[in-house]
Copies of this chain bind each other. A is one copy, B any other.
């Protein structure tokens, strides 16, 4: 039954209170839920209710059925994957967007939807210190757009690169058959790339080479150059490179100043995937890590990871909006007035889907309420908490931090103990009080700890560390008690590790 606006006021305000309570008491919850696979499915009826229901029952079920089945990404004890952005300002920004329910696929469909995106993407691009040519407010054809995810941005870049290459080659030789060219195109990235990059190659039907990163997890220029040369010698055509600024596993930074010139020389589209770490560039002290970005064709950060904005808000900039329009506008209308066309973009031609929500509203509410100063504080505070955690780990001789901490990520393991480290993570995950995931570094098993929740304080970090230490103590205790039953190398390793502690 359609509720009236008075009921909506009550429903909405009750929901707001539920969320405020959720954040006030989030520390009382285990990070991981205690549910079995299929539990919610079994709890729910097999068929939709036939009769209308009361909104109060919705909120009751939300509290009693849904919340218990949630992994609490915003908990200060959540240290897995990378953060997913939330803030009070963003929640309300999205509420307003959903509330008015518009679809902004053309300018007239809702002028403010397009124009606020232009404005906020200029704001954010400037805050990041991106070269002016990427920005809509420059005199050139560059501009920004909010994509749904870094996955999409990577694929958008690949498809635009493909289209641009076909156009360039057929301009030179109109007799070339695009189908011949397609099969020769090659994309490159490092073996440290996020799975979404590999997936983009599959989805875009372009060979995607995962090139060997160096000892620090970086893709180096000479590796890329060799890959280009080898492929060209075999009649293939390098087309697209995805450079990572802050890899998923260990937050490594590819040297754009090495990769860029090589890409430019070969007319290869360079896309920079700075999904997580890119947000830190609003702090000038980190911009050295994007040295060489002026060589790139496209650049993407997930404001919905580390910039307090809710999913979906993947901020992508391109040097030439026309490259996207050519790839995505099926009408392929070539306008003389490129300037007008790009300055107030028809955003549906810059992305894959047709429709689009009023995504920039939440970016706007976040920037307005935090201010540039507040956003930088947030990043600096988070990084300093990560450094504090790293110090705690370093103070315990059983542990080794490797590689070096970067941004909000601290990777660590127990010395000489892959199996032990794995056991530690398994035990911690089983206890559900702290959540981290694993990665591998130089063929060792490492635990990734990431500062995620915007609410986290030093006290929360102390608690996370306490849980980790306690779990480690427990493993050591078990092993020492089993000392008399040593029969394999693993136990000896374990003993060695544990006994370091007790010295």
A residues at B contact (CB < 8 Å): 1-3, 5-9, 11-13, 15-24, 32-33, 35, 37-41, 44, 46-55, 57-58, 61-62, 65-74, 81, 84-92, 94-96, 98-103, 107-113, 115-116, 118-119, 122-124, 126-127, 137, 148-152, 155, 159, 162, 179, 182-183, 194-196, 198-199, 202-205, 310-312, 327-328, 330-331, 343-344, 352-355, 357, 361, 365, 367-374, 378, 454
Question: Can you sample 28 A-B contacts with CB below 8 Å?
Answer: A1-B369, A2-B378, A5-B21, A8-B20, A8-B88, A12-B20, A16-B95, A33-B112, A38-B344, A44-B116, A44-B119, A48-B124, A52-B369, A55-B369, A58-B365, A67-B112, A69-B111, A70-B113, A73-B109, A73-B110, A84-B101, A86-B100, A101-B310, A101-B311, A179-B183, A199-B330, A202-B327, A312-B312
Q: CB distance B70 to A102 under 8 Å?
A: yes
Whether A1 pairs with B91 at a CB distance below 8 angstroms is: no
Closest B-chain residue to A80, C-beta based? B109
Contact B199 A374 (CB under 8 A): no
6 smallest CB-CB distances across A and B, nearest first, come from A69-B112, A86-B101, A12-B16, A179-B183, A19-B99, A48-B123
Q: Is the CB of A89 within 8 A of B352?
A: no
Name the residue on B nearest A177 (C-beta). Answer: B183
- Check if A95 sits within 8 Å of B15, measured CB to CB: yes
Q: A37 touches which one: B66, B344, B369 (CB < 8 A)?
A: B344
CB–CB B100/A98 < 8 A: no
Q: Which B residue sits closest to A78, measured CB to CB?
A: B102
Cβ of A35: which chain B residues have Cβ within 8 Å of it? 111-112
B19 contacts A16, C-beta separation under 8 Å: no
A5 touches B33 (CB 8 A): no
Query: Given A19-B96, A94-B94, A111-B33, A49–B368 Cβ distance below 8 Å?
Result: yes
Instruction: Tell me the bound Cα distance from A65 to B361 in angstroms.
Output: 12
Which residues from B are CB-within-8-Å of A367? Answer: 48-49
Query: Whole-angstrom distance between the alpha carbons of A38 and B39 in the complex?
Result: 52
A352 and B151 CA atoms in complex are apart in Å by: 8
| Residue of A1, A49, A99, A328 with highest tally of chain B CB at under 10 A | A99
- Cross-chain contact B24 with A88 (CB below 8 angstroms): no
B contact residues around A372 at 8 Å (CB): 48-50
Of chain B, the residue at the smallest CB distance from A149 is B353
The listed residue with most B CB atoms (<10 A of its CB), out of A48, A81, A198, is A48
Contact of A88 among B3, B39, B352, B370 (CB under 8 A): B3
Known interface pairs A3-B89, A179-B183, A344-B38. Does A199 touch B354 (Cβ–Cβ under 8 Å)? yes
Other 11 A-B pairs with CB < 8 A, given A69-B110, A73-B109, A95-B98: A6-B20, A9-B16, A32-B108, A37-B107, A48-B124, A49-B368, A71-B108, A74-B101, A90-B98, A149-B355, A199-B328
Kindly identify which residue among B70, B92, B99 contacts A112, using a CB–CB cutoff of 8 Å: B70
Which listed residue, B38, B48, B100, B205, touches A70 by the CB 8 Å rule? B100
Smallest beta-carbon distance A99→chain B, Å:
4
**A352 interface neighbour in B123, B194, B203, B310, Cβ under 8 Å:** B203
Which of A20, A61, A73, A87 has the most chain B CB atoms closer than 10 A to its own CB?
A20
User: Which residues of B lie under 8 Å from residue A20 when comparing CB positions?
Assistant: 5-6, 8-9, 12
Q: Is B111's CB under 8 angstroms from A39's CB?
A: yes
Task: Name the CB-closest residue of B to A136.
Answer: B41
Which residue of chain B has the shortest Cβ distance to A162 in the bound complex?
Answer: B205
> A62: nearest residue on chain B (CB-CB)?
B96
Q: Which of B1, B99, B108, B198 lies in contact with A22, CB distance below 8 A?
A: B99
Which of A3, A39, A52 neighbours the largest number of chain B CB atoms within 10 Å of its CB? A52
Given B40, B159, B179, which contacts A119 in the complex, CB threshold below 8 Å? B40
Known: A73-B101, A89-B3. A369 touches B8 (CB 8 A): no
Which residues does chain B contribute within 8 Å of A16, judged by CB atoms? Answer: 8-9, 12-13, 16, 95
Q: Which residues of B contact A33 (CB under 8 A)?
A: 110-112
CA distance A310 to B24 in the complex (A): 28
A353 to B351, CA, bound (A): 13
- Inter-chain contacts of A194 with B (CB < 8 A): 354
Q: Contacting A66 at CB < 8 Å: which of B15, B50, B361?
A: B361
- CB-defined contacts of A113 to chain B, threshold 8 Å: 70
How many Å from the CB of A243 to the closest CB on chain B? 18
Q: How far is the CA of A38 from the CA of B342 in the complex (A)?
A: 12
Complex contact A41–B118 (CB within 8 A): yes
